[in-house]
Structure 1
Amino acid sequence: MILLHGDGDPTTPEGLRALYAPPRLPWLRVNMVSSLDGAATGSDGRSGTVNNEADGTVFHVLRELADVIVVGAGTATAETYGPAGVPIVIVSRSGRIPAGLRGAERGSVRLATVTDSPGLDDARSELGEDNVYVTGATEVDLATLVARLHEEGMRHVLSEGGPALLGSMLAAGVVDELCHTITPRLLAGDGGRIVAGPPTDVPVRLRTLIEHEGTLMACWLVAR
């Protein structure tokens, strides 16, 4: 790996962890990947078909550094999520828990949902009432969710999307940093971009940029 922008050594595990350490706490970063032509998913609807080994290395480093992972239910289902080394918070208005996250140890999987969620009672039974965050009537209030996580000691928040959740997080003004990998592939097709939702215009500033065999891994500081 070659560092093109920033300070540090990405060629060792320790150096890579230092490069991706959050500048301060609390901190919320979002990690996304796309092909060179902007496809966030492959033909099978999964980002797993877009990424590669270099992106996978960064993916695992970001998870190791995080206190909690926040992910949309659609992404968790499509990418067949299972429990991780830190708690996973599923964001879902319907309150449905992806199959791969059911039956997990209490506290390792949590849910952020709304008061009129059809799956609310089932989620409370499955996860435990303390692990279900109801933060809005019809839309998940992401600012309230993030504040709740901070209160519970989870100050380094990592979101893994998907695009709709990233769009909502940007609109809510809760994102500090976007880590975005561009893999050297051209996919065309119907794969959407890394951000979905109403038009927005959020300025960003480059913090780090690493290149490895054509793969570009950047971290962008988000204006708030």
Structure 2
Amino acid sequence: MAKYQIYMIRHGKTWFNKYNKMQGWSDTPLAPEGLEGAKLAAKALKDVDFDLAFSSDARRAIDTCKLIVDENKNKEQLNPTKLMEFREQFYGYFEGMNSSEAWFIVGQPHGETNFGDILTKYGLDATRDFMKAADPFHDAENAEEYWTRINRGFKKIDEVAKDGDKVLLVSHGTTIRSITERFGGGKFDLTQSPKNSSLTLLERDNGVNTVTKYSQILD
């Protein structure tokens, strides 16, 4: 394996982001302000010497990735690849629901009424387990299912990345926050999700992840 950097970018703002709805494997297009935010990120990253480019297979991530690649100095050499492993968390029955309502239902059995309080008291992995338990179909991903998928994604990047590479990866808010919680060494304030079109920087050294920057606004 190699030592390389992953520039994790959250996709631009979508209509479901704007309306505060649960958006995991469901997908809505970039809203006008999301397009503008992604274009600003693309300009900020245009001189980064990217060797590889990836996105999740959600349209909002694919479109954001294309905007960044099309502006990049290495655009002729970059061929963006979709990795379903870096999709957002799957919310199952709660997909598309008003976020506050969904987290009220999920948190009630544990004495909490909102996502922030669940997160503070129990952590992100517990929010996944609680959601799967609350899902009447039990389709939502629990922590074990989620991390099995994410870890498979990192191994796929390992197969093609070389020492010193700079890798673009456009993914999602909860996914980037989860990776930061697990690999950030407690150095970052995770009470807020990373901003749309923001940068979170991860160093991967022979399979070991370290997040060095979280939710940096690019403009």
Q: What TM-score bracket applies, with the shorter chain setting the length?
A: 0.3 to 0.5
- Using structure 1 for the length normalisation, give the TM-score: 0.35
- Higher relative CO (Cα under 8 Å, sequence separation at least 6) belongs to 2
If each structure's helix is expressed as a fraction of its own residues, which one has the higher value? 2
- Using structure 2 for the length normalisation, give the TM-score: 0.36
